[in-house]
């Protein structure tokens, strides 16, 4: 995962460098909302329990293509009582999300004074970091170290401890409107195809209660099965289905976009030359600041 981080760090530095020196460059700020899809959210797309997110991007244009590097941060959460109706599973989670990505965007039209609006699509690659937690007895408890489904236990060799930093495939659609030569406004929807089902710490079957207790302690047992908080007579359902392991989680953002397009180098140089000639003609003294 370290190699992923280094790769996207160098890409971000390269794009930022070109933002200062090259042509056809832009920066984009995208505030909006983040939500998630998984075992603790029954709806494929919803604003229910959505949290604030913000993304920052730098882009380099070649005709109708835009290569853009970005950073997004936000928060997701879900719970059975509000989202799924599985009252007697009674699980819940929340997690901060941070991702960096590199995407190739295709604009259906080039914008100018006569054409001010275009839809676009994009896809790419990235990495994201998450760390699911829940609230238990009024305390925040991080779930991954507990192995609530027996991850990392010798009796479950196929259940490895999941990494909190993983690759992703971002993709989405958007719409841009040209306000001026330099300023664009837009709307964008972006989802992430993920390679994990553990963003919400819920994926497979309940582990054996005794094995979980011996190796991870009572807290892991308590947070693996929380149905007995609703009905104290319910036994721990060792081996029973806890979630759907055949469908990975995902998260998505719905955002507004504020885009600034940098002037081309030739414009900088032309303005600089005009200013220089003007100074020479009137022999203006230099200002001292």
Question: pLDDT tens string for the chain (289 positions)?
Answer: 555 556 556 665 665 555 444 458 999 999 999 999 999 998 888 888 899 999 999 999 999 999 999 999 999 999 999 888 888 999 999 999 999 999 999 999 998 888 999 999 999 999 999 999 999 999 999 999 999 999 999 999 999 999 999 999 999 999 999 999 899 999 999 999 999 999 999 999 999 999 999 999 999 999 999 999 999 999 999 999 999 999 999 999 999 999 999 987 555 555 555 555 444 444 444 332 3
pLDDT at 17: 56
pLDDT at 113: 85
Q: Cα–Cα distance between 30 and 187 in angstroms, integer?
A: 9
Q: Cα–Cα distance between 99 and 101 in angstroms, integer?
A: 7
In the chain, where the domains are located: 2-264
Q: Cα–Cα distance between 26 and 260 in angstroms, integer?
A: 5
The CA-based angle 44-237-246, given to 5 degrees, is 35
Q: Considering only CA atoms, which of 208, 218, 219, 242 is closest in space to residue 90?
A: 242
pLDDT at 84: 83
Q: Cα–Cα distance between 36 and 40 in angstroms, integer?
A: 9
CA distances in angstroms from 195 to 147, 166, 172, listed in the order given: 19, 8, 17
Strand ranges inside 80-213, DSSP E: 92-107, 117-129, 133-136, 139-142, 165-178, 183-194
Q: Cα–Cα distance between 80 and 134 in angstroms, integer?
A: 12
Q: Torsion-angle region of residue 181: left (phi > 0), alpha (psi -120 to 50) or beta?
A: alpha
Q: Cα–Cα distance between 162 and 148 in angstroms, integer?
A: 12
pLDDT at 285: 41
The answer to whether the CB of 92 falls within 8 A of the CB of 227 is no
Q: Considering only CA atoms, which of 204, 198, 205 is closest in space to residue 251?
A: 198
Helices (H) and strands (E) in the chain, counts: 5, 10
pLDDT at 289: 35
Tokens of 118: 């275009």
- The top-level CATH class assigned to 2-264 is mainly beta
Global model pTM greater than 0.85: no
The answer to whether the CB of 93 falls within 8 A of the CB of 201 is yes
Q: Which residue has the tokens 């790419």?
A: 124
């Amino acid at each position: 995962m370290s190699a992923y981080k280094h790769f996207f760090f160098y890409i971000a530095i390269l794009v930022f460098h070109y933002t200062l020196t090259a042509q056809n460059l832009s920066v984009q700020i995208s505030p909006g909302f983040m939500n998630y899809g998984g075992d603790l959210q029954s709806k494929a797309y919803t604003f229910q329990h959505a949290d604030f997110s913000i993304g920052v991007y730098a882009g380099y244009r070649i005709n109708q293509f835009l290569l853009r590097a970005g950073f997004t941060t936000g928060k997701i959460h879900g719970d059975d009582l509000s989202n799924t109706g599985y009252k007697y599973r009674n699980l819940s989670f929340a997690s901060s999300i941070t991702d960096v990505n590199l995407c190739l965007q295709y604009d259906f039209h080039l914008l100018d004074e006569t054409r001010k609006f275009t839809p676009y699509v994009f896809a790419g690659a990235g990495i994201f970091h998450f760390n699911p937690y829940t609230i238990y007895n009024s305390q925040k408890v991080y779930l991954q170290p507990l192995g609530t489904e027996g991850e990392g236990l010798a009796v479950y060799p196929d259940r490895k401890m999941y990494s909190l930093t993983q690759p992703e495939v971002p993709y989405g659609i958007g719409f841009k409107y040209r306000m001026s030569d330099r300023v664009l406004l837009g709307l964008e929807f972006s989802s992430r195809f993920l390679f994990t089902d553990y963003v919400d710490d819920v994926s497979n079957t309940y582990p054996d209660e005794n094995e979980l207790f011996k190796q991870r302690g009572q807290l892991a047992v308590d947070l693996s099965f929380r149905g007995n908080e609703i009905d104290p007579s319910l036994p721990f359902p060792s081996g029973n289905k806890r979630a759907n392991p055949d469908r990975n989680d995902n998260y998505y953002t719905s955002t507004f976009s504020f885009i600034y397009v940098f002037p081309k180098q030739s414009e900088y140089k032309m303005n600089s030359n005009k200013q220089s000639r003007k100074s020479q003609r009137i022999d203006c003294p230099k200002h001292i600041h």
